[in-house]
Amino acid sequence: MDKNIIDLEARRGMEKEWKKYTKFGLFFVILLVLFILFMASVFVVKEGEHKVIRQFGEVVRIKSTPGISFKVPFIQTVATLPKYQMTYDVSHTEEINTKDKKRMIIDNYAVWKIDDPRKMIANARTVVNAESRMQEFIHSVVRAELGQLNYDEIINDEKSSRGSLNDRVTEKVNELLARDNYGIVVTDVRTKRTDLPQENENSVYTRMVSERESKAQEYLSMGDAKKNEITAETDRKVREMLAKAQADADVIRSEGEGEAAQIYNESFSKDREFYNLFRTLETYKKTIGEDTVIVIPSDSPYARLLMGYTQ
C-alpha cells in the first residue's frame, strides 16, 4: 500500500516537471517565431539607395529616406535600387559620317541616376534594361548631332557655333527618357575618344603632313617678306644718313675752302713774291714725279733758287 502511494506521488511529480518544461519550451518556440517574424518584417534603408517593397510582384511603396522600416513578412519582398550617380560606359563604339562626309569612330560614356524608381520599374523594370534604353538614345542623338557638324568642329568643340556638343547631347537624351517615362536622368554625356577608321588614318596623316608643310612654307614666305621689308627700310635710312652726311661735308668743305681762300688772299697781300713761289712749289709737287725730267733755263727764278742764288 505504501509503495503504491509512493509511486503515485512520484508519477505526479514527474507530470508536474513535464508540464513545467513543456510550458517553457512552448514559450521559447513562441519567442523564436516572434523573433523570426520580426526579422522578416524589418529592413534598413541606407544612404544612397531606394528600397522597393513588392507584394505579389506589384510595387506597393518605395522608401528612400535612410532608417529602419517594416513590411509584411513572407508576403512582401524588398529590392534595392541605387540612389547615387552611376557611370555607364557605352558598350560599343559608333561609326558616323560628319557633315563634310568624313567617317569617324566615337566612344562615349554617361553619368546618370534613378530619379523616379516607380517609373523606372514600370517601364524599364531593371537597371540593365534602363541602361540599354539610355544607350540606344545616346547612339541616336550622337549620330544625329555629329551628322550636322564638320570634322574640325567635332575635334575642336570651341569652333562650333552651336554651343557645347556634350551639353546638347545630354539635353536631348533626357528629353527622350522623359518622353517615355523611364524615371532616370542623365547628368552628363561625354566623348572619350574620336578616331578615324583604320583605312583612313594613313591618308589623313599624309594630308596633315602636307598641310603642316604648306603652313611652314607660308610662315617662311612671310618671314622672307618681312626680312625684305626691314632690309629696304634699313637701306633707305642708310641712304638718307649718307646723303645728310655728304651734304654736311660739302657745307664744311665749302666753309673750309672759303676760309683757306681768305687766308691765301691775306698772305698774297702781305708778300706777293713768296706767295707766287709757294704756289709754284705746290704745283711742282703735284705734277713732278720720281721719273720726271725738267729742263729749265739757268736764269729762271726756280733754277737760281735751287742753285742757292737769292739775288
Verify that 168 and 248 share a domain, yes or no.
no
Verify that 155 and 185 share a domain, yes or no.
yes
Counting beta carbons within 10 angstroms of the beta carbon of residue 112, is it exposed (0 to 12), middle (13 to 18) or buried (19 or more)?
Answer: buried
Verify that 165 and 258 share a domain, yes or no.
no
Q: What is the span of the domain harbouring residue 128?
A: 86-195
The structure's pTM equals: 0.54
What is the residue whose three cell numbers read 509503495? Answer: 3
pLDDT at 113: 93
pLDDT at 161: 47
Q: Is residue 278 part of a domain?
A: yes
pLDDT at 187: 92
- The count of structural domains within the chain is 4
pLDDT at 172: 93
For residue 276, give Cα distances in angstroms to 62, 194, 273, 302.
135, 102, 5, 11
Verify that 164 and 99 share a domain, yes or no.
yes
pLDDT at 176: 93
Verify that 54 and 126 share a domain, yes or no.
no
Q: Is residue 27 part of a domain?
A: yes
pLDDT at 177: 93
- Check if the beta carbon of residue 181 is closer than 8 Å to that of residue 121: no
pLDDT at 306: 63
Q: Which of 88, 304, 303, 95 is nearest to 193 (CA)?
A: 95
Among 59, 81, 103, the domain-final residue is 81
Give the span between the Cα atoms of 131 and 188, in whole angstroms: 14
Verify that 187 and 105 share a domain, yes or no.
yes
pLDDT at 162: 47
Verify that 236 and 290 share a domain, yes or no.
no
Q: Is residue 74 part of a domain?
A: yes
Verify that 259 and 282 share a domain, yes or no.
no
How does pLDDT run along the chain (311 residues), one tens digit per residue?
455 665 666 666 666 667 767 777 788 888 888 888 777 788 888 888 888 888 887 888 888 888 888 888 888 888 889 988 999 987 666 677 777 777 777 888 899 999 999 898 889 888 899 999 999 999 889 888 888 877 777 766 544 444 577 888 899 999 999 999 999 999 998 887 777 666 666 666 777 788 888 888 889 999 989 999 999 999 999 999 998 999 888 889 888 888 887 887 777 777 777 777 777 777 777 667 677 777 777 777 666 666 665 55
Q: Is 74 helix (H, G, I), strand (E, B) or coil?
A: coil
Verify that 102 and 181 share a domain, yes or no.
yes
Verify that 155 and 220 share a domain, yes or no.
no
Among 237, 254, 270, the domain-final residue is 270
CATH number (domain holding residue 115): 3.30.479.30
